[in-house]
Structure 1
């Protein structure tokens, strides 16, 4: 994976990932260099992502690489083993859940069914609200920063 990412370049991988509107799990297909997660990577950046921001992220990832993040996905089975003692645990603090309707996590692996089908509420009994932002993807705190801040502020005012 790292070799494929290196071939297309750090800036491309970040721009592609940050701007994707492709739903479902992220996939970087072998042999399809230049397409990555999103074959429709825009030529220009969206209003919420400046050239300066992209340059900053690119500089940071050029120093550290993507291996740390990728290792999380490589270790799914071990991660499940490590968290096994907390199976059936509940989050018992008040919660407001916010996601974009185009978020690759929200649209993957039966997550919508989990969130809206009742199991999420069983695991998080003090879930007060689920907010799904229309037309918004995975990086909703950047894409709709003011709206997210308002949701958080409104939630925190209760305390």
Structure 2
């Protein structure tokens, strides 16, 4: 194959595909086994811009979605339209729309939870699952809203704060670019400072952004990239993105039949050692032998924050490709 043809095949392509709930915008690059990439909050397909070409060059069909409620994908008419079951249905519909029967699914942050549940509920479609940033936690325990309300004492845990309709939108949408810059900085290793996860607790009468670090952008985020993300959220608003957090109780009810259920497909976990998620959810990571019996490898990246595939793209790409190669060898 000539070099120009190879380069053409590796160019990213934007597409809209129909799903039962509307449409999903996606960006695909490369040919080969299908790998779905699911972003977290508050991001878009752009979160995988450093993985798409690496996976394509290695012989995979890499497809990064805008989750429903984000970017070019459909905006939900109601909060319940962003329940976990709807996201899983989107993932299955995307696989079918791309002419495939099965896929490997990889997610980061809330995308990791969606990837995990896609693998749990549809093992016939999703043959392996990679989780970045947020470990798999089976359904169980008390109702999520009750559990989150016990965290933080007099201060409100960010998940509870996100769950209140209109409250987070009112803060964020006054200055979308500035809020995004602060949120990204609060969870990035090079800009979070000594405060660590302090951003996640909102004192009475205060704003979440009051505890964001001030100063430079994280090294992985250029002003132009920030502008692109801010423009997308200026157009869509944040209600669709925040709806994921507002469905946690509904998901708990919907998934009752899978209480405590493990994911048995081959899996991968990568976390940042400085990401508060890896300390808040240390018990979930420790439980992997029971909850992820098909785990191939688990990695905590020293000196890395929450946005690991952007903070450490080369290292994450290597780990992803090593894992994907191990699947092919099975």
Q: TM-score, normalised by structure 1?
A: 0.84
Q: Is the 8 A contact 1:48 1:142 kept in 2?
A: yes
Q: Is the 8 A contact 2:199 2:209 kept in 1?
A: no
2:284 matched to 1:114? yes
Q: Could you list the runs of 5+ residues in structure 2 that have no partner in the other structure? A: 1-167, 187-191
User: Does the C-alpha gap of structure 1 residues 23 and 94 become closer, same or farther in structure 2, counting only changes over 3 Å?
Assistant: same
Q: Is the 8 A contact 2:271 2:278 kept in 1?
A: yes
Which residue number in structure 1 is paired with residue 274 of structure 2?
A: 102
Q: In the TM superposition, what are the counterparts of 1:46-85 in structure 2 within 5 Å? A: 46-85=218-257
Quick one: distance in 2 between partners of 1:64 and 1:106?
A: 30
User: Does the C-alpha gap of structure 1 residues 154 and 24 become closer, same or farther in structure 2, counting only changes over 3 Å?
Assistant: farther
Quick one: distance in 2 between partners of 1:59 and 1:30?
A: 30
2:6 matched to 1:6? no
Looking at secondary structure, tell me which structure has more strand per residue: 2
**Matched residues, number:** 152
Q: Is the 8 A contact 1:100 1:134 kept in 2?
A: yes
Q: CA deviation at 1:74?
A: 2.1
Which residue number in structure 2 is paired with residue 141 of structure 1?
A: 309
Q: In the TM superposition, what are the counterparts of 1:38-53 in structure 2 within 5 Å? A: 38-41=211-214, 43-53=215-225
Q: CA deviation at 1:46?
A: 2.2
4+ runs of 1 displaced by more than 6 Å?
Answer: none
For CA contacts below 8 A with separation 6 or more, give which structure has more relative contact order.
Answer: 1
Q: TM-score, normalised by structure 2?
A: 0.43
1:99 aligns to what SS in structure 2?
A: strand
Q: Is the 8 A contact 1:91 1:124 kept in 2?
A: yes
Q: Is the 8 A contact 1:91 1:123 kept in 2?
A: yes
Q: Is the 8 A contact 1:11 1:54 kept in 2?
A: yes
Q: Could you list the runs of 5+ residues in structure 1 that have no partner in the other structure? A: none
Q: Is the 8 A contact 1:24 1:107 kept in 2?
A: no
